[in-house]
Amino acid sequence: MNSEIPDWVRLQKALSIEAQRGFTDLAGNQYRFSEFLCLSFGQAPPVGTPGSERRRWQEFALRFARYSQLPPAQRQSLVLEARRFLYDLRQTLESSPELSQPKLPRTKPAIGNSKTASDRFVSLDDPIGTLAEVGRIREKSLEERLGLRTVRDLLFYYPRDHIDYARQVNIAHLVAGETVTVIGTVRRCNCFTSPKNSKLTIFELLIRDKTGQIKLNRFFAGTRFTNRGWQENQKRQYPLGSVVAASGLVRKNKYGLTLEDPEIEVLDSLGASIESLKIGRVLPVYPLSEGITADVVRKAVIGAMGAISQIKEPLPVSLRNQYGLLGLKDAIANIHFPTDADTLGYARRRLVFDEFFYLQLGFLHRRHQQRQTETSAIFTPSGQLIEKFNQIIPFSLTNAQKRVVSEILADLNSSTPMNRLVQGDVGSGKTIVAVFAILAAIQSGYQAAMMAPTEVLAEQHYRKIVSWFNLLHLPVELLTGSTKVSKRREIHAQLQTGELPLLIGTHALIQDPVNFRRLGLVVIDEQHRFGVQQRARLLSKGQSPHVLSMTATPIPRTLALTMHGDLDVSQIDQLPPGRQPIQTTVLSGRERSQAYELIRREVAQGRQAYVIFPVIEESEKLDVRAAVDEYQRLRETIFPDFQIGLLHGRMNSQDKEAALNAFRDNQTPIIVATTVIEVGVDVPNATVMLVENAERFGLSQLHQLRGRVGRGSHKSYCLLMSSSKTPDAHQRLSVLEQSQDGFFISEMDLRFRGPGEILGTRQVGLPDFALASLAEDREVLELARDAAEKIMMRDPTLKEMPSIKKELEIRYQRLLGGNILT
């Protein structure tokens, strides 16, 4: 590494990959991650580094020398600190005008500035069929299959990945696993039908440069390629002594190094420019659909590049300079056809910033509008009901619960509608916090509604709250899909007269003709499982009611910002006293008998166990143990002396309730279930959870499941049975062995699996980013949030920034369909 100019990209890439893989101190071709970082920081810091930063640079060398001895949480902290340090140092050293508008290398003319593209006028709003590179025939398929209608659509159709063929190396310096371009002279060319397969044609090309030689192969399957005339034509394209450039992924086979499925172009001479759209460039890889090839999209984008000059820059120069952002036109040009990896990095960073920035601006603009709204429901934070409730509960609230209750009651005493999310780990006591809000509404003369995503969870809330409300002499009802028609009518009538102050239910609350007399508070549990429109329909039953959302799935800050950027967030970060730590162990199939023995021992002592499966019935596609089939096997051969229950989502409500009641009453000490028991089942006597095929679950989901045990006074166990032999699967599951902190676990889950999987569903109202990654681009998200907050503080109506306001309106619709509502 040159001490004057560090290889920023390589350092940040190493830190990024280590974060992706879960801080495992990855082994590279030459060094482990920690060794590479130690060596990198062990060299002299860059010229111009300030004195205090020089000391930090040297300290990082010592800290990474001890990296392998650190626990995962400290490794994560060190990697994040190093990434921020490098980013800040680079900004300091390169804080000249050139950084905000990086100069592009001039080694190759930019694609799209060719004569064919610029000779004719191309408008951003032109149909793509007007481009010569597309034509009317391809226009229809690009529109129908990729949704591309205008030239603007093409320019904003970002690649999903890039292959870096821009790096040219000598043949002797090839390294397996790298993507490169080599240039050499043809020493031999052959094209023939395989002697072992009459339908396979093999093309061989031997090229040499001053350092060595390499043999390249291409394979063509099909009888049309076995035609001798076609084969001879291939050979004539690469005459002996001609100069060729070849790009591809370096692979090692039994004959040595080669390029996998290489792209090859004949050049005029050594040193001649490469005209290919693929060879010697950073090659864009686009999302495709059946019948659309990569070359079709690339050529269409090239045709659209002539319209880049018409793109207007919404962000002021001062903001771009402050956050080190490339201009939008250059960013669009170089996200498609960058001249090198550094330029691609600048372009991607700007476009990722835009995706986050307009989302955050939309959230903050919405919150500003909400705060201009007045609610008809202003609750008194103190009163007889709350005082009496404090007297009847047989325990004291934790400090965290008291803090969150105070935040909620302060919101409820305001003329601005509350919009607050309460996050709390499994068993942290969110329900009782919600009850304080409900009682504040009732004692102020209003009604409350509480909606849960499943009948099991709704019934659990009802069971708990009705026991408290009976002591307070307050009526409460439950409305689900299983509620009988006569009971529904009775509930509807009581709501309209105001006799019923609290209704708990599932989607039935919005599906039924439910009309409240005076709805003042809406409580939504596990709110990410409801769609935007579903939540809006419940809110519409009152006049700007207060909204309290709850989740037992701790959400990392990056995910919270992209889902709940317009909410106030409270965290119950403390468990009630008496909650038992749960001993978690990952087991292989060979250790199954140990799991059964533990269950047998615990049940013999009067306690209970869950056995969890990922699917209900055996599937040919998934090699997983199915609940129904394994229920029979466990009952007949493994635990014939014990009663075993069965619970899954396809059972009707009566059977579900019967199975749950039997388990609660310890009539069935073992229950075989699917994830229907993930939330809402509270059986303090249960001490063992065995999760089959645990590798099929996300970490956050496993953490939720684990929370069903450890709720009583006895020691509890969670056994994660995994049939996978892959290191990644074991690495994921070991996180649960090491930690019971839901926020840390969800952060790791975000790295391993992505945001949609953390929340247990893909339709959770997450924005559809074209480039941004919540796991990889956290630093850019924080910068975008900071920029959006500063703009909203200075100009909340965006009156002084019409270009940003106009772009926000466009992006707002595209990101979340105009519904940033939580």
Q: What is the DSSP string of 606-648?
A: T-EEEEE-SBSS--SS----BHHHHHHHIIIII-TTS-EEEE-
The H or E element that residue 654 is part of is: helix 653-664
State whether 594 and 531 are in the same domain: no
pLDDT of residue 277: 62
Query: Which helix (H) or strand (E) segment is 524 a member of?
Result: strand 519-525
Residue 254: phi and psi, rounded to 5, are -70, -15
Phi, psi of 709 (to 5 degrees): -110, 175
Domain shared by 529 and 649, yes or no: no
> What is the C-alpha to C-alpha distance for residues 141 and 132, in angstroms, rounded to an integer?
15
CA 309, CA 124: separation in Å to the nearest integer? 10
Report the distance separating Cα 599 and Cα 609, nearest Å.
6
d(CA 349, CA 43): 28
Residues 613 and 568 occupy one common structural domain: no
Q: How far apart are CA 451 and CA 430, in angstroms?
A: 14
Residue 396 in domain: yes
The count of domains in the chain is: 4
The answer as to whether 624 is a domain residue is yes
In what helix (H) or strand (E) does residue 478 lie, and over which residues does it extend? strand 476-479
CATH code for the domain in which residue 661 is found: 3.40.50.300
Residues 547 and 454 in one domain: yes
Q: Model pTM?
A: 0.63
Residues of the chain with pLDDT under 50: 1-4, 96-110, 112-119, 620-624, 757-758, 760-764, 817-822
Task: Give the amino acid at 268.
Answer: D
Where residue 588 falls (left for φ over 0; alpha for ψ -120 to 50; beta otherwise) is: beta
Q: Which of 95, 113, 132 is the last residue of a domain?
A: 95
**Residue 564 shares a structural domain with residue 652:** no
Please, where are the H alpha helices in 498-591?
508-511, 532-539, 557-564
Do 78 and 188 lie in one domain? The reply is no
CATH of the domain at 224: 2.40.50.140
Residue 514's identity, in one-letter code, is V
Please list, in sequence order, all residues whose beta carbon lies within 8 angstroms of the beta carbon of residue 549, skipping any fewer than 6 positions away: 420, 421, 422, 523, 524, 525, 527, 564, 567, 822
Asked if residue 619 and residue 563 are part of one domain, the reply reads no
Question: Which residue's entry shows tokens 């599937």?
Answer: 619
Q: What is the pLDDT of residues 64-111, one digit of tens each?
A: 878 888 888 788 888 888 888 887 888 777 654 433 333 333 334 345
CA–CA distance from 172 to each of 168, 257, 272, 715, 722 (Å)?
A: 12, 10, 21, 62, 44
Q: Strand, coil or helix: what is 137?
A: helix
Asked, for residue 162, whether it belongs to a domain, the answer is no
Give the pair of three-digit tokens for residue 142: 């690009």
H-state helical runs in 316-475: 317-322, 328-336, 341-372, 384-392, 399-412, 430-443, 455-471
Start-end of H helices in 1-107:
8-20, 33-42, 51-65, 72-93, 97-100
Token couple for 379: 């609750």
Do 628 and 733 fall into the same domain?
yes
- The residue from 720, 739, 758 where one domain ends is 739
**Beta bridge pairs of residue 71:** none
pLDDT attached to residue 100: 37
Query: Phi, psi at residue 481, to the nearest 5°?
Result: -65, -20
Phi, psi dihedral angles at 183 (to 5 degrees): -125, 130
Whether residues 562 and 708 share a domain: the answer is: no
CA-nearest of 22, 15, 72 to 731 is 22
Indicate the length of the chain as a whole number: 822
Residues 455 and 516 in one domain: yes
- Pairing relationship of beta strands 568-572 and 582-587 according to DSSP bridges: unpaired
Give the pLDDT of residue 332.
Answer: 92
In a domain, 374, yes or no: no
> If DSSP states are collapsed to H, E and C, what string results for 559-578?
HHHHHHCCCEEEEECCCCCC
In a domain, 17, yes or no: yes
- Whether the CA torsion 186, 188, 193, 196 is positive or negative: it is negative
* Under 8 Å between Cβ of 417 and 592: no
Euclidean distance between CA atoms 4 and 49, whole angstroms: 10
Spatial separation of the C-alpha atoms in residues 693 and 614, rounded to whole Å: 7
Of the three residues 95, 120, 150, the one that is the final residue of a domain is: 95
Domain region containing 621: 582-739
Residue type, 20: Q
- Asked whether residue 50 falls in the same domain as residue 172, the answer is no
> Can you tell me the distance from the alpha carbon of 575 to that of 449, in angstroms, rounded to the nearest whole number?
26
Q: What whole-number distance in Å separates Cα of residue 649 and Cα of residue 653? A: 9
Q: Where are the alpha helices (DSSP H) in 147-188?
A: 151-155
126 lies in some domain = no
Give the Cα-Cα-Cα angle 390, 679, 633 (nearest 5 degrees): 135
Q: What one-character DSSP code corresponds to residue 303?
A: H
In a domain, 239, yes or no: yes
Regarding whether 688 and 563 lie in a shared domain, the answer is no
* 141 found inside a domain: no
